[in-house]
Structures are given as C-alpha cells and as structure tokens.
Chain A
Amino acid sequence: MNNMNEDALALLTKAGLEKCLLRMTEVSPGAWQLGDTPFVTAIIFNPEDIKHISHCFAEEQYYGPVSEEQPDVTVIEIGNILLNALANSLLRAFGKSAIPSVPAHFQGDYGAIEKWLGAGPEVFTIISAKFTMKREDRVSAAEILAFLPPTLAEGTLPLK
C-alpha cells in the first residue's frame, strides 16, 4: 500500500472513530476523545484502568463485578462498539461489507498479541489511535490498533 492510500485510509478511519467517540461522550457519563495520532485494531489498555473505563461508559449500578482475573463484560462491549467503528470505516473505504466476529478480551504482552494475530505484528500494516476517557478527576488512556494484512493492498480485508 503506498503512502497516499495509507493517508486516505487514515483520514477515513479517523473520521469514523471521531464520530463514534463523540457519540460515546453524548450517551455515557465519561468524555471520550481521540488522541493526536489517530488509528486502530485491537484496543490496548492498562488492566488497572478496567474499572475506570467501565465507569466512563456506564453508571456504576449498571455493570457487574470487575476484576483483573475475569474479563469485564462492559469493557468487551466498549470494544465491540469502538472496533466496529473502525471496521465500519475500513470496510466502507474498501467497498466491502461484513459482520465481524464477537470481540474477545485477553491479558498479556507482545507475545499474546503475536499469538492472537498468528504472526508477528511486523507482518502487518498497523494503524493506531490513542484516546482518553475522563470522568470526574481521573483520566485513562487506551490505544486502538488495526493490523492490516498484506492482502489489503490487493483489495481484500479478512476480519478476525
């Protein structure tokens, strides 16, 4: 994929994410903002922030127990919304349509990402976007990453 295509893809992806984060701010108690360096695929966040991230999305009485051992269902739903915003933008850019699979939550390091991808991240074109969630006095940061496979340049976009 050449630089011009990457730039166009980045703009389209950013627009989709900005729209989604604005909507998140409107309908949830937290403020969701895109960072300076746009772009996406999996969402990476500090496990210590899991409760705060959930707190930014829903009133406390709405969500279930949160622990580092048990993936939090609210965070998975946040992932579902944000990752779909990314997938919708990318699919639209490539003139395709697909229903993504159910999102999963896992905890780990670089090796866990490599295992999930089935190859090292260096094989992929990566689009990333940092964003923040603020509620009351606390701010959490996270990053959305899109790992674009080499086949993307040929017009195909397999979704995980």
Chain B
Amino acid sequence: MKVLIVDDNASTREMLGISLERGGHEILGEAEDGQSALKAFAELRPEVVFLDIIMPGISGVVVLEEMLKIDPAAKIVMLTAVDQDNITMELKSKGAAAIIFKPFSQEDLRKVFDRIK
C-alpha cells in the first residue's frame, strides 16, 4: 500500500519506513509536524497514513480530524506511546482505522495491514 509517515522523530520515521518497505509497502512521503502532514496528505493522497499524536504544533488528534475532512475514506493509523483509555476511545470515535502503541514490532504492523486492507 502507499503510505505517508507522520512523526516528529526522525529516528521513528526511518525505522517505520524501513519496516514498511520490508513489508512490501511504498513510502510516498514523510512529515514531521501536523501542518506539513496535512499538506503532504492533500498532495500525495496516500492509501494509509501512520500518524503520531505527540508532535510540536498541531496534535495528531487534530490532524486525524482534518485528514478525514479531506478524505473521509482515508485509513489513518495512529502511532503513539499514549495508552490511555479515554484517548484511545476518542481516537476511535474520531475515525482512526487502527492504533499501534509504541514500541511496535514488524508483526504489529502486519496485523494492522491485515485489518485495514
């Protein structure tokens, strides 16, 4: 699948990119904050977005909402270390396709793709 990676941490973007490419997916682009993520999303129209929550500026929760306004059918996978029931429920209610909690493994990624494809 064609993927956009959004995470403020360059190391995470790189590790995730390598893992996804190993899984046969294509990385269309990367973004390090919410603003550039929305721009890249509108331009690249990825099939799947991996979206961090804690980023400078706009939070991933807001970015999720904005992306789904642009494309209500977009598959947005939240990638986060925030494991709190209220926030998890909020993300699901706002339309997140899946949530992966950090740290993640190659197997976690595979399961998510099995679920959303």
Interface residues of A (CB under 8 A from B): 23-24, 26-28, 57-58, 61-64, 73-74, 76-77, 80-81, 84-85, 88, 91-92, 97-102
The distance from the CB of A31 to the nearest CB of chain B, in whole angstroms, is: 14
A76 to B78, CA, bound (A): 19
Q: Which A residues are in CB contact (< 8 Å) with B102?
A: 77, 80-81, 84
Return the chain B residue nearest A27 by Cβ: B105
Q: Which A residues are in CB contact (< 8 Å) with B82?
A: 84, 88, 99-100
The reply to whether the CB of B86 lies closer than 8 angstroms to some CB of chain A is: yes
Interface residues of B (CB under 8 A from A): 8-12, 14-15, 18, 53-56, 59, 61, 80-87, 102-105, 108
Known: A84-B80, A100-B82. 17 other contacts (CB 8 A): A24-B103, A26-B105, A57-B103, A58-B11, A62-B14, A73-B10, A76-B11, A77-B9, A80-B81, A81-B103, A85-B81, A88-B82, A88-B83, A92-B85, A97-B85, A97-B87, A99-B61
A80 to B85, CA, bound (A): 18
Q: Which A residues are in CB contact (< 8 Å) with B9?
A: 73, 76-77, 80
Known pairs A80-B54, A99-B61; A27 contacts B14 (CB<8 A): no
The distance from the CB of B31 to the nearest CB of chain A, in whole angstroms, is: 15
Give 9 closest A-B pairs by Cβ, nearest first. A84-B81, A97-B86, A27-B105, A73-B11, A74-B11, A77-B9, A81-B81, A62-B15, A27-B103
Contact B55 A91 (CB under 8 A): no
The distance from the CB of A111 to the nearest CB of chain B, in whole angstroms, is: 26
Q: Which A residues are in CB contact (< 8 Å) with B53?
A: 99
Contact B83 A84 (CB under 8 A): yes
Contact B8 A102 (CB under 8 A): yes
Return the chain A residue nearest B17 by Cβ: A62
Q: Which B residues are in CB contact (< 8 Å) with A28?
A: 103
Contact B103 A102 (CB under 8 A): no
